[in-house]
Chain A
Amino acid sequence: MEGDKVDPVHQFMVNKIVPIHIGGLDLSFTNASLFMVVTLVLAVGFLIATTSSRSVVPGRLQSVSELSYEFIASMLREGAGSHGMKFFPMVFSLFMFILTANLLGMVPYFFTITSQIIVTFALALFVIGTVLVYGFYKHGFHFLNVFVPSGVPGVLLPLVIAIEVISFLSRPISLSVRLFANMLAGHITLKVFAGFVATLSTLGALGIGGAILPLIMTVALTGLEFLVAFLQAYVFAVLTCMYLNDAVHPGGH
């Protein structure tokens, strides 16, 4: 187990807490599941508790909830117009869930659920699925105008359409891998530098002196990772707004 202490991948291990097997599928309640539940409870608890007084003049915490509401609302309105506002609960849920999960992952020994590709991929598929279903439901075959940019000469059209289709198909991959890779890489880097500190400090006085450098790096990276935690949630929400715009207004604005 000594190796596990400095093994940067160990933190991504999914461990069963309550084993559940149904029809040959492993549906166990794991540490990942636990932190999904913690994320849910924490985010909902915060949003409900801070708005419980419903004061006209908000306190600090109520302001945080209101600001996140208005932040996402304005982001969606700018990204997808007023018709896109019917997706407000979806974008808000995605942003808050990912943000809470990312920030929760910054706590030592906590599991980062967004560092699992299947989780981010499922969220990305949820977004793209919503775009496809709503787009075809609302506009029928006009939704395919998404792939035909206006003002393109006829000769280039097949090429442009091919590029547009490929770009559309790569969206769920880029959306999920961006979030997953950022969280994964950040946590691995943190763990590696923190591991240097632990390893070097066992080498006597010189080692302890040498450990200062990776310690400074670890502190700086922790700050950076908090930024990344917010930024990735923001990027995910912004891209969701952009993709939803295609569903609301296919074929340009």
Chain B
Amino acid sequence: MFVTAAYAQSTPTEGAGSQGAAPAEVHTETGVAHEGGHGSGVFPPFDQSTFASQLLWLAITFGLFYILMAKVVLPRIGAILESRQETIARDLDDASRAKSEADAAVAAYEQELAAARAKANQIANTAREAAKAQAAAERTAIETELNGKIAAAEARIADIKVRALADVGTIAEETAGAVVEQLIGTRVPEAEIAAAVKASAK
């Protein structure tokens, strides 16, 4: 079967090679004559006399190739890829750990800062409260003192007013006595004048 196929196959290619247009039969013959020097006359890939040798050497070389791939090359490349994977995973791990550490440090810093700020606020508030309280106390003290002084002054004014009013009565009596003496020429008893002044003052 193979041989027949080979003859058929070789016909067009031979034709192309020698650029001839002669019948196929003749060409096949030329093809055979051509390859006469190489032993058999069939199309080389279908030459069954080489099959045994090719199979044997293919089995040897491909078998060896397969074994070398399975035992040496593939485990080796696999190990390289795996170690790379591990390195990358480890590095990513380290990076994420470093990141979480940094995040923790930032959080701690923020917390410290907030605490410090709160403390500062508290101190400021306390100081403000104390100052306010002191100021209020001083103000009340001064106000009390001033109120005392005002009260004292008012008391003195009232006293002076009373005394002045009393003096006014005396002066009015004297003036009235003098006026009456000038008018009538006689001295009017002081008691009468006082009564009259009192009556008119009312």
Which of B18, B50, B72 is the most central at the interface, judged by chain A CB atoms within 10 Å of its CB? B50
Q: How large is the interface on B (under 10, 10 to 19, 20 to 34, 35 or more residues)?
A: 35 or more
- How far, in whole Å, are A97 and B61 apart by their CA atoms in the complex? 10
A13 touches B78 (CB 8 A): no
Q: Is B168 positioned at the interface, with any CB of A under 8 Å from its CB?
A: no
A6 touches B17 (CB 8 A): yes
Contacts of A6 on B, CB cut-off 8 Å? 17-18
- How far, in whole Å, are A39 and B62 apart by their CA atoms in the complex? 9
Which of A39, A40, A58 is the most central at the interface, judged by chain B CB atoms within 10 Å of its CB? A40
A7 touches B34 (CB 8 A): yes
Contacts of B81 on A, CB cut-off 8 Å? 66, 69-70
A51 touches B77 (CB 8 A): yes
Contact partner of B54 among A30, A37, A66, A180, CB < 8 A? A30
B73 touches A48 (CB 8 A): yes
Contacts of A90 on B, CB cut-off 8 Å? 66
The A-contacting residues of B in range 73-95, CB under 8 angstroms, are 73-74, 76-81, 83-84, 87
Task: Identify the closest chain A residue to B47 (Cβ).
Answer: A14
Contacts of B54 on A, CB cut-off 8 Å? 14, 30, 32-33, 113, 116, 118-119, 122
- How far, in whole Å, are A180 and B66 apart by their CA atoms in the complex? 21
A93 touches B52 (CB 8 A): no
Known contacts being A32-B54, A44-B73, A66-B81, is A8 close to B64, with CB within 8 Å? no
Contact partner of B17 among A8, A30, A88, A123, CB < 8 A? A8
The B-contacting residues of A in range 84-113, CB under 8 angstroms, are 88-90, 92-93, 96-97, 113
A56 touches B87 (CB 8 A): yes
Q: Is A239 positioned at the interface, with any CB of B under 8 Å from its CB?
A: no
B56 touches A188 (CB 8 A): no
B45 touches A43 (CB 8 A): no
Contacts of A119 on B, CB cut-off 8 Å? 54, 58
Contacts of B53 on A, CB cut-off 8 Å? 14, 20, 26-30, 32-33
Q: Is B69 positioned at the interface, with any CB of A under 8 Å from its CB?
A: yes
A-B contact pairs, 19 of them (CB 8 A): A9-B35, A13-B35, A14-B44, A26-B50, A30-B50, A30-B53, A32-B53, A32-B57, A36-B58, A37-B61, A40-B65, A44-B72, A54-B80, A56-B87, A92-B74, A115-B45, A116-B44, A122-B59, A199-B19
- Seen from chain A, the residues whose Cβ lies within 8 Å of a Cβ on chain B are 3-4, 6-9, 12-15, 20, 25-30, 32-33, 36-37, 39-40, 43-44, 47-48, 51, 54-56, 58, 62, 65-66, 69-70, 88-90, 92-93, 96-97, 113, 115-119, 122-123, 126, 180, 184, 188, 192, 195, 199
With A7-B17, A188-B13 already in contact, 11 other A-B pairs whose C-beta atoms are closer than 8 Å: A9-B43, A30-B53, A32-B50, A32-B54, A44-B72, A62-B80, A70-B81, A96-B65, A117-B45, A117-B46, A199-B19
6 A-B pairs with the lowest CB-CB distances in the bound complex, closest first: A33-B57, A89-B70, A12-B44, A36-B61, A14-B50, A93-B66
